Every structure is written in C-alpha cells, then in structure tokens.
Amino acid sequence: MVATNNAPIAAAIDGSDEALAAVRWAAAEAARTKTALTIVSVVEPFAAPIGQNVEGWIEAEQWVEARRELAQGAVDVALDLAAELAPDVSIDGEVIDGKPALVLRELSSRVRMIVVGRRGLGGVTGLLIGSVSADIAAHGNCPVAVIGLQAPVSGPVVVGVDGSPMSTAAIAHAFRQADARGTSVVAVHTYGGFGGDAFYGQGEEALRRLNDEAVESLGSQLAGYRQDYPDVEVASVVAAGDPAPAIVGAAEDAQLIVIGSRGRGGFRGLLLGSTGQAVLHVAPCPVLVVH
C-alpha cells in the first residue's frame, strides 16, 4: 500500500538528542508542506527465557511497563517541541509495542515520509548510523529522512544523479525540496567508476568523450525539472570516480542531500546501495532517501 498525498509525516523517536533533531526537522517539513505530523516511539517486548518462573515474568512485564512510561515521556517532550516550532500543524503522538525496525517498515506504508535520527540511544560508539535507522532507510516504502545533530537550515539541496529510475525520483524530490525552501539544487553525476590512477593510459580524447557524455546525460535528466521549477537555480557537478565522495564533497555547505535508495549499480535485493550507505554514514547534513 502506498500512502496518499494527505498522509502525515512521521517522526520516530527514542529520547536521544538526534531523535529531537529529527523532530525539529520533521516539524519544519510539516509546516512547509502543510502536512500533519505524527510522533511515534516503539517499545520492544521483553522475551523471558522459556521456563522462567512467575516472578521472572512479572519482572519482565514491569520492565516493559517502565519502558512504555519512558517512551511516553519522550513522546510528550517531542509533542511540546513540535507544537512550539509548528503551531499551525496538526500533531499527535503514540507509543507502539513491537520490534522497532518492523514497526517502522509497516508505518512507512501509511505515511508520506519517515524522519529518524541518525543514531539513537542504543547506538554503539563509532557506529555513525544506528541499525534501526539503517533498516528503515533501506526497507521503507516512503521517503526516509535521516537526521544527525547538525541540520543546517541554509544552503543548497544536493542530489545524486545516475540515470536510474530511483535517481529520477530523487531529482523530482530534490527540486520540490529546493523550491519549498527557496534555495538551489546541486546535481552530482559521476562516471567511470574508477579513481584518478585508472586514467593513465586512457588517452586524453577518450577521457574528454567520457566527460562530454556525462555532461550531456546530466543535462538531459535535469531538463524537464528546470522547466517545471524555473525559479530554482541549478549547478552541475560532473566528475570521474565513485559517486559517494563526490556527493558528500558537494554537500559541505548544503542543507539536504537527496539520493535514491538504489542506483544503476545496485544489486537486485540490495535495497540500499553502497553509495547510499556511504553517504548516510558521513553526510554533513540530513539525507533524504527516496524509494
């Protein structure tokens, strides 16, 4: 099932600082798009070992109830924050029992966008994106915005372009986001799939042809959107090599990166391509993954 245009934006929280950053971003997005906002926190059930005595089950239920109370407290804080930031937005919140990744996957069929923090309370030090955030970015049925502690409110929208259907969807979202934010688009397209050392022996003419073909391809992919959004300025970045470093490099002063969940090089069944994974780990701003 695909959510309708009047479906709400959902912010998934766990009480972490990055979850509150996600709420701030989601509230601003809801206000821009005049969309309702729902805030959810998921409590995972406690599975007591087989053969556990009655006291063990009671303790387990008490533990789950305590987690529910903490989750409800986090939702209440997030509701107050969102209402302060977006007073004209319809906002609600709920605590849901279940496996967080599975709950968010199901929720993604009923909302227009899910917003998550890059790493939550359960994050491992040094792991830049949490397992739940990575899962919904890969498996969501709607666009998924992954927000770190740094969420700039100025700068361009950067979009990765590779000619795939996912990339086409990403371009559309990037122009829509840039238009709503009153900013520009930086479109990044790479070719070759090799680094500078691989150029030796290619020949200057061959390299020039590759670059010219990439420039032409990017221009044709952007043409219709330039017409649809005449007020959005567009800059193009065409480079040889891997796309992830080029996208991240172009986003040093960006407020948002938009990428497709899987591009031309993606393997069937790999729902978040290597480029998307790399960008999510090191992006200097929020990343919107388009499915």
- Per residue in 118-127, pLDDT tens? 975 544 333 3
- Residue 252 sits in a domain whose CATH number is 3.40.50.12370
Q: Is 211 helix (H, G, I), strand (E, B) or coil?
A: helix
Strands 91-97 and 256-260: unpaired
Query: Which of 147, 181, 200 lies at the terminal end of a domain, its last residue?
Result: 147
Considering only CA atoms, which of 222, 257, 252 is closest in space to residue 236? 222
> 222 and 119, same structural domain?
no
Check if the beta carbon of residue 140 is closer than 8 Å to that of residue 291.
yes
- Is residue 2 included in any domain, yes or no? no
pLDDT of residue 184: 98
Going by their DSSP bridges, the two strands 9-12 and 37-43 should be labelled as parallel
Residues 182 and 252 in one domain: yes
pLDDT of residue 277: 84
Q: Are residues 71 and 170 in the same domain?
A: no
**CB contact at 8 A, 277 and 128:** no
Domain boundary among 114, 147, 180: 147
Both 164 and 219 in one domain: the answer is yes
Q: Please check whether residues 170 and 236 belong to one and the same domain.
A: yes
179 with 123, same domain?
no
Q: How many domains does the chain have?
A: 2
CA pair distance 132, 181, nearest whole angstrom: 28
Together in a domain, 164 and 247: yes
Which among 115, 147, 179 is the end of a domain? 147
pLDDT at 73: 96
pLDDT for the residue 139:
92
- Do 262 and 189 share a structural domain? yes
Say if 152 falls within a structural domain.
no
pLDDT of residue 3: 64
Q: What is the pLDDT of residue 271?
A: 41
Is the full-model pTM beyond 0.85? Answer: yes
How far, in Å, CA of 74 to CA of 79, rounded? 9
Which regions in the chain score pLDDT beneath 50?
122-128, 195, 265-271
214-248 pLDDT, tens digit each: 999 999 999 999 999 999 999 999 998 889 999 99
Residue 139: inside a domain, yes or no? yes
Torsion of CA 113, 119, 120, 121, to 10 degrees: 180
* Same domain for 245 and 161: yes
**The pLDDT value given to residue 54:** 53
Range of the domain at 197: 157-290
Are 111 and 195 contained in the same domain? no
How many other C-beta atoms lie within 10 A of the C-beta of residue 149? 12
Residues 142 and 198 in one domain: no
Give domain status of residue 1, yes or no.
no
Q: How many CB atoms lie within 10 A of CB 267?
A: 9
Name the residue with tokens 């795939």. 164
Q: Pick from 289, 271, 265: which is nearest to 169 by CA?
A: 289
The pLDDT assigned to 89 comes to 98
Q: Specify whether 114 is located in the same domain as 39.
A: yes
